[in-house]
């Protein structure tokens, strides 16, 4: 399963990427800084213990923010306030908030990798949410 999503930080920060689950592994690759502030990049780099994330995302390089067995996901939820278009994953103590719908303030990157799969409306976002729920439900506490 591979879906274009946006990593959300704070009230207005976001960057696009691809969330993938394959062979019991789950990963997220971000494609550029997007609408993340430099402060949000620093917070992300600090939480992941990798300062190179800042430089690479600022230079629009793809960055794998996590790649781990699905069993290592500590928390999975689909908040009601995302109207069925978002999910949160906690991995190694870091909460990653994802939107399956394009936030209004996004800055598009140049990567074409599977970005055509990005949900364009609420209905599509809810379908993607259901697909991810079905794929992850055995891991939801």
Structural domains of the chain in order of their starting residue, each with its CATH number = 2-139 (2.30.29.30)
Radius of gyration of the chain measured on its C-alpha atoms: 14
Strand order in the sheet with 2-9: 62-69, 25-31, 13-22, 2-9, 94-99, 86-91, 73-77
Prediction pTM value: 0.84
pLDDT digits (tens, 9 = 90+) for 70-125: 999 999 988 878 777 889 999 999 999 999 888 776 655 544 444 444 445 677 77
The per-residue pLDDT for 119 is 40
Residue 71, Cβ density class (10 Å: 0-12 exposed, 13-18 middle, ≥19 buried): exposed
């Amino acid at each position: 399963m591979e879906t274009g999503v946006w990593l959300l930080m704070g009230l207005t920060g976001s960057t696009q990427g691809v969330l993938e689950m394959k062979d019991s592994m789950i990963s997220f690759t971000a494609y550029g800084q997007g609408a993340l502030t430099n402060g949000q990049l620093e917070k992300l780099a600090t939480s992941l213990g990798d300062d190179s994330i800042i430089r690479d995302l600022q230079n629009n390089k793809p960055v794998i923010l996590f790649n781990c067995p699905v069993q290592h996901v500590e928390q999975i939820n689909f908040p009601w306030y995302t109207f069925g278009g978002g999910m949160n994953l906690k991995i190694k103590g870091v909460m990653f908030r994802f939107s399956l719908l394009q936030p209004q303030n996004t800055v598009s990157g140049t990567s074409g990798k599977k970005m055509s799969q990005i949900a364009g409306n609420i209905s599509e976002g809810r379908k993607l949410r259901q697909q991810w729920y079905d794929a992850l439900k055995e891991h939801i506490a």
